[in-house]
Every structure is written in structure tokens, then in C-alpha cells.
Amino acid sequence: MTDNTPCQKRLATVAAQLVLAGHSVHELDNGGFIVTRWCVTRHCPDFAALVIYARQMTEMQQ
């Protein structure tokens, strides 16, 4: 996540939101993501799914 393209910046923002909510975000080689918190994992097959999951998790914590 060191590239400064708009897509990479959006990804960094979403990942940071999840990290601030206590999650870890791992980018997969196939373009998907694994999000973990404690012993629970969630597979997000693409960036759109990651955004949806991030919104759900941050809304639940408000």
C-alpha cells in the first residue's frame, strides 16, 4: 500500500478505518482481502466488499 494512486489512497483509508475499529486487514495476492478481529475472519473478495464490510463494522461501533 505504498503507491499514491487514488485507488491505493482509498484502500489505505478503508483499511485505516478498520484498524481504528480494532481489525487487521490483509491484502491477498488474488486481489481480495482478509479482515480479522480476535479469532474471527472475514473474506472480502474485492474492494467493494471491503468497503461494505467496513461500513457495517464502523456503524456497529457507534
Q: What is the pLDDT of residues 7-60, one digit of tens each?
A: 889 999 999 999 998 999 999 998 899 999 999 999 999 999 999 999 998 777
- Residue 57: the pLDDT is 86
Nearest CA to 15 among 4, 6, 27?
27
pLDDT at res. 1: 47
Asked whether the beta carbons of 47 and 8 are under 8 A apart, the reply is: no
C-alpha cell at 2: 505504498
Q: What is the CA radius of gyration of the chain?
A: 11
Rounded to whole angstroms, how far apart are CA atoms 22 and 2?
A: 22
pLDDT for position 3: 60
Q: What pLDDT is recorded for position 31?
A: 87
Which residue in the block uniquely carries the three cell numbers 478481529? 37
